[in-house]
Amino acid sequence: MTEMDTIVSLAKRRGFVFQSSEIYGGLASTYDYGPLGIELKRNIRESWWNHYISQREDVVGIDSAILMAPSVWEASGHVQGFSDPLVECSNCNQRFRLDHLDNQEICPNPTCENQPLSAPRQFNLMFKTYLGPVEEVAAQTYLRPETAQGIFVNFQNVQTTTRKKIPFGIGQIGKSFRNEITVGNFLFRTREFEQMEMEFFVKPGTDEEWHDKWINYSLEWYDKLGISRDKIQVRAHDQDELSHYSKATSDIEYLFPWGWGELQGIANRTDFDLKAHTEHSGVRLDYFDQENNEHFTPYVIEPAVGVDRIFLTLLIDAYREEEINEGKEKRTLLKLAPQIAPVQIAILPLSRNEKLVPKAKEIFTLLNQSYSCEYDDAQSIGRRYRRQDEIGTPLCITVDFDTIEKDNQVTIRDRDSMEQIRVPVENLQDHIQNTLL
């Protein structure tokens, strides 16, 4: 299994992810996405949006604010209950989540030699901030710990303006913030992250059926991403794991280098959120069913997933090391699906010869209108192939002297098989379209 150090090294070396504030020693568990990273991240967002929103008639999107009225978080239960049990070692001064230590009372740091931990205390995970110039309780608010509440408080606005009938969903992508006690495993758990959440509103009594449907529909998305199905499992939460709002929750998990971990949660949130906001705001957030002449508060099915966690999963799942040339060489590649790869096609003139470069740039300009392309003429062609393999580029197109002087054909190299074929320039777009579908 791929080691995490290998993934972290690749991410930095090839411009996917950098440590935030690195020139100042870095800030723990915060990361900046480089040129390739932001492209991969954008492709993940677009894939999710297409699958969950654009391709469905019964789901619409919004973009709610990060800052919300403090009353939102009181109504949702985050002010009172969004906390983890914190314990501390008086020797090394490290802090831990007690539930991550299997409730043990001894510091896990081997240098502490069975040092007892402090009594647990609850630690609220929301980041506090202040509106306006004065830091006082009246001006206190929070950075949102989830994007879901922005959807719930806009339920009436969206339903009225779109005239959607139950069942229908509202989705959004945006930043969330949680002041986690313990973070780690690179991008898996960070304090600043990006969520892709959808709240699907259904009639009570149909919620269990819809819960199963959204689990299966979510699994289809992982197939589109090209993630190995044999490393994915669905795990239903035990009753003692369920959140205060949840009737049932199932996690889609991936087999990471450290073991099974959550990729996505699909929760049956019942009518908790809409009723809570109705009670605290005084504004009715129910639904009138004209056909049956009745009011009811919808139940909600929530598929929620993190962009950053999917990003990490794709790097791990796609990473390969292979021996080639009868074991004389080794190559590294990312076997990313073509629609997700940050670079889909690399245009490579055989050299920087004045005859080859104009033709190669002409092809780059042509293809870059429809595909994510990169032009590269530095170093030997073999080194350039290796770099493109390592960043996951599915196809490389090489312009050589035969292209210019003989047949007007280019060499197309496939990342996975390394097979090379000659294709006439006039047939290039048709061939690529058939290959990358």
Instruction: Spell out the domain ranges in the chain.
Output: 34-68+142-315, 343-436
The pLDDT of residue 114 is 81
* pTM, two decimal places: 0.91
Q: Is 261's pLDDT higher than 90? A: yes
What is the mean pLDDT of the segment spanning 198-219? 98
10 vs 108, residue with greater confidence: 10
Q: Is 99's pLDDT higher than 80? A: no
Q: Is 1's pLDDT higher than 80? A: no
115 vs 194, residue with greater confidence: 194
The pLDDT of residue 245 is 86
Q: What is the pLDDT of residues 213-246, one digit of tens each?
A: 999 999 999 999 999 999 999 999 999 888 888 9
Percent over 70 (pLDDT), the chain: 99
Q: Is 257's pLDDT higher than 70? A: yes
Q: Is 53's pLDDT higher than 80? A: yes
CATH 3.30.230.70 at 34-68+142-315, yes or no:
no
At residue 325 the predicted structure's pLDDT band, cuts being 50, 70 and 90, is confident
Instruction: List, in order, residues 6 or more apart from 156 with CB less than 8 Å away.
Output: 283, 284, 285
The pLDDT of residue 266 is 98
Asked, colleague to colleague, whether 34-68+142-315 and 343-436 share their fold, the answer is no
Among 29-33, 102-106, 423-427, where is mean pLDDT lowest?
A: 102-106
Q: What is the mean pLDDT of the chain?
A: 93
Percent over 90 (pLDDT), the chain: 80
Superfamily of domain 343-436: Anticodon-binding domain (3.40.50.800)
